Each structure stands twice: as structure tokens, then as C-alpha cells.
Amino acid sequence: MAHPQIAAFARLAKGGDAPRRRIFGQATKLSRTMHDIRYNEARDEFYVTNPFAQAILTFRGGADGQEAPIRVIQGSKTKLISADTLEIDTIHNEIFVPQGDEVLVFPMMADGNVAPIRVLRGGAKAGWRTGGGIAVDPIHNLLVTDGTIEVEGQGYRTTFRLGRESILIFDRLADGDVKPLRVIRGPNTGIHAIRQIQVLPKGGWIVIAQITDGGI
């Protein structure tokens, strides 16, 4: 069984160097599955998902050992069901959590059983499903996620990893049943089975990591 922990290494660590710090133990509320972690340099905090507990955990940047999170978003009002990945916007102080046919948005300082301040919904009305990769461009006010688009007469593509063959671009403040502003997809893109997304606002780049061939 995997041992739930977060290891922090020196910036210049190499080879078999040991971690400087390890966060572990029951008090941390970490699960054996953590597919995303984000660091907020301005607040010196980091954020991680716990999909089994349907929770978002916030730790001090210097957390060490069996240290509890300083904030936990969890409960029936949160609408969290399968919080596998997340993104943070350090300019507008928000946390974005994609799951299923929606993206939930919480205030950065949210704690406890807190309702999202916005819910971007796909599904039948909007014609898209999110895959899980997500990034925010706070400069151009864009939200970028991967997923799949409903094709007229064909329904959703449900190939490997539920398709995940499209890049969906929304307004950062999108709320409710909203169609994407733009969609990047098709055989010429080389996109298939996206895992993670990063946005570089200054250069106007969207960078993706794919599951199938390790390509970026």
C-alpha cells in the first residue's frame, strides 16, 4: 500500500538525495492518491486534493512531519465529489477544482463546509465535459481546461481517458451552463489524453503534458 506523504527536496537536489522535509501521518489528512499540488509563493502555502475525503487541504509552506492542514474545504455544501486536480489564481485569490461536468471555484481563504462562489457547468446544455487538467491565466482572464466536446450526431467521444482530446478555453469568471469561448482540437493538433496543463500568459503559450506518449 502506498504511504501517503509529501516530500520536500532541496532545489538543487540530485540522485539519491534525501528530502529536507516530509509531511505524513493521520493528522495531515493526506490520502494515498494525490494527483495535483500547487504552491502559493505570496502566501507561502500549498494546496493539495484528497479525492477520497472529497476535500481540498491547505498547508503552511514550511509544514513538516505530522502537521495538520491550516484549512480544509470539505462538506455537503462544497459540491466536491471527486477532487482529483486543482488550480490556484494568486492574483484574484481563488481555487479552481474540475470534476465531471463542472468546475468549482472557491475563495482562497475558504475553510470548512463552504459553497463554491461559481460553478462552471458543462454536460448536455453546454456540450462539454472536463478531463481534469486545468490552468488559469489571470492576466487575460481565461480559464483553460482539457476535456471532450459533444459532436453533433456522435455524442461525446469516449476513447482513452474519456477522450481528453480537446483544450477548452473559457472566460475566467464564467458561471453556470457556459460554452467555451474557443476549442483547440482535431488531428492536426496531436492532442490525445491530456494529463496536465500550464499557461504562460506573457508568451501566450498553453503547454500540455500527455499520458500516452509522455509528450509535451
pLDDT tens digits, 119-163: 998 877 777 877 788 999 999 999 999 888 765 445 544 444 445
At 106, the amino acid letter reads F
Please give the pLDDT value at position 133: 87
Please give the pLDDT value at position 8: 92
Please give the pLDDT value at position 161: 44
Please give the pLDDT value at position 163: 54
Determine the Cα–Cα distance for residues 13 and 15; give it in Å rounded to an integer: 7
Count Cα neighbours of 197 within 13 Å in the Cβ-side half-sphere: 32
Ranges of residues in the chain with a pLDDT under 50 are: 1, 152-153, 156-162
Determine the Cα–Cα distance for residues 114 and 214; give it in Å rounded to an integer: 37
Please give the pLDDT value at position 213: 57
**Which domains, from first to last, does the chain contain?**
17-210 (2.120.10.30)
Please give the pLDDT value at position 166: 85
- Only one residue has cell 459533444, namely 150
Altogether, the residues listed in the chain come to a count of 216
Please give the pLDDT value at position 158: 46
Determine the Cα–Cα distance for residues 215 and 60; give it in Å rounded to an integer: 33
Q: Report whether 145 contacts 133 (CB < 8 A).
A: yes
